[in-house]
Amino acid sequence: MREIMRTNDPVLISAVESLLAADGIGHLVLDRHMSILEGSLGVIPRRVLVEDDAANRARRLLVEAGLGRELVPE
């Protein structure tokens, strides 16, 4: 798995998950429930990971959707 995005925005994560799922790209969101430890402050960013062989496709999909500025550098 390869990290493509790191954010505290739950709406953005939901949109990204929808785009990836619609394109059949396997993905995983890590640290989603860390708010239990941080007191719901949103301090710990959530990480979106995709399958290694689909990373370039996922990045291209998110750029085309106008979310390229949210991607972590390669």
pLDDT at residue 69 in the model: 95
Spell out the domain ranges in the chain. Answer: 2-70
Give DSSP secondary structure letters for 6-66.
Answer: EES-HHHHHHHHHHHHHTT--EEEESTTTHHHHTS---S-EEEEE-GGGHHHHHHHHHHTT
pLDDT at residue 44 in the model: 82
Alpha-carbon span 7 to 46, nearest angstrom: 5
Q: Which homologous superfamily does the CATH classification assign to the domain defined by 2-70?
A: UreE, C-terminal domain (3.30.70.790)
For residues 8-35, average pLDDT: 92
Q: What is the pTM of this model?
A: 0.85
Q: What is the pLDDT of residues 28-69, one digit of tens each?
A: 999 887 765 655 566 788 999 999 999 999 999 999 999 999
The residue written with tokens 């989603």 in the block is 32
